[in-house]
Amino acid sequence: MKRAYSNCPDGMKVTICGAAGCTGQPLALLLKQCPLLDEIALYDICATCGQGMELSHVDTKCKVSSFSGRHMLCDALKGSKIVIIVARNNCDTFENNAPIITEITLQICNTCPTAFTIVATEPVESMVPIVSEIQRLRASYNPRKLLGCVELNCVRANSVLADFLRAPPEAVRVPVVGGATPQTMVPVLSAAVHPCKISQEQTECVTSCIMGGTEAVCEAKGCATATPCLAGAYAVARTTINVVKGLQGRKDVIQCAYVDSLGTCAPNCQFFASEVVLGPSGIERNLGIPELSKFECCLLCNCLPYVRNEIARAIWLVYTMCQQCCSPTCVAHPGTCFTPPTVPCVPPTNWTCDFPDPCRDEYLASICREMTCMCGSTELCWRPRDVEFDANRALNLTHQMPMKSPACSTCNVPKSVRIEQIYRDRVKES
């Protein structure tokens, strides 16, 4: 017999892929307390039945179901409105996590193509483009229903700034743009909502503390490969709850996320982290990059090569999956075989594929060629992050982004701070 876990046929079901991991377990506990959810499906390669039984003892209305093994992934995804991907390899690198994300994404396309997908597997800057391109090939891509979770940067920025100002964290909101890693994130303290202004020296100090948060956690835990799993789970849970509120009709839900900005936020970057407005259709509006100071403009220019490289090697991976299969005995056509190749192949000059929609194939090829030319050589797509970054290329900003002048020459206070001050003045007058 088939058990019905949700309160209604159209209940809000959330599937956590990677629920048995160090991030998935506290994430499931946090979501179990949310009154907006009807069912949480726990999925992982290893057993999740014990975790599911333990969570079912928590006295909230949200039901819990457990699924283990690759053959149960489709059952876990069936009927899901939101899919959270926190699955990861023990060695948290692009090469190790990309096959995991690929497998889950293909099942999402087959089982719940209209579900809202939240990607929290590192590196987020690469995993989100992989999901988008696979969904695009399967004709199920909706940029309004895909985001990468970078809320941990915002949570950390709010806490650090609030501690520095000795203010309650609830009164502080710092937008973080760029990406998810210390090399790609740009905390926009000049556009933060906080009770007072800080000097340039203090801004640089606070920014350094925000960027070094993950490293500080690893040192405190005494393990170089440790992850901020508890704070990360809280950040993913808050992002998920905001998405649920938006899908259920709540207006003006603002969330910082790594999304498909179509190159409108940063030059030659299809994906970029910024504040977005969530609603019933998913991501309804991208608020873009706020006004930046000179220091923040410098950080943004330095992060762009990293973001471009992450996007380029993600698209390159999907491109090679369409071009070559790693199994010599595979009889599937390269356009329908999604097994990652063991060695990345060099693209031919006249790349063709018999996939039903040749426009999507040419899109992949053109994006890959353009980003390869702009970012340097094809080697940029596959070397490890610490080796592939060229400091000399980063200093040469002429091919990346024109230097910006100060955000506002006539107004020293950012727009967001001015609006907040106006609200405070109105409250005092009333």
pTM value is: 0.75
Q: Where in the chain is the domain with CATH 3.40.50.720?
A: 13-141
Q: Distance (Å, rounded) from C-alpha 294 to C-alpha 211? A: 18
Q: Distance (Å, rounded) from C-alpha 98 to C-alpha 258? A: 17
Asked whether residue 222 carries a pLDDT value surpassing 80, the answer given is: no
Of residues 1 and 197, which shows the higher confidence score?
A: 197
Asked whether residue 104 carries a pLDDT value surpassing 70, the answer given is: yes
> The tokens 């980003």 sit on which residue?
371
Sign of CA dihedral 386, 388, 391, 396: negative
Residue 225: is it exposed, middle or buried by C-beta count within 10 angstroms (0-12/13-18/19+)?
exposed
pLDDT of residue 244: 95
> Which string of DSSP letters, residue by residue, matches 238-298?
HHHHHHHHHHTT-S-EEEEEEEE-TTSSSTT-SEEEEEEEEETTEEEEEEE-----HHHHH
Q: Distance (Å, rounded) from C-alpha 125 to C-alpha 305? A: 12
Q: Where in the chain is the domain with CATH 3.90.110.10?
A: 151-292
CATH code for the domain defined by 151-292: 3.90.110.10
pLDDT tens track for 113-143: 999 999 999 889 999 999 998 888 888 889 9
pLDDT tens track for 137-155: 888 889 999 999 999 999 9
The domain made up of 13-141 has a fold known as: Rossmann fold (3.40.50)
Entry field: residues in the chain: 430
Q: Distance (Å, rounded) from C-alpha 90 to C-alpha 181? A: 18
Q: Distance (Å, rounded) from C-alpha 90 to C-alpha 112? A: 27
pLDDT tens track for 233-288: 999 999 999 999 999 988 889 999 999 887 778 877 889 999 999 999 999 988 88
- Adjacent-strand bridge partners of 186: 177
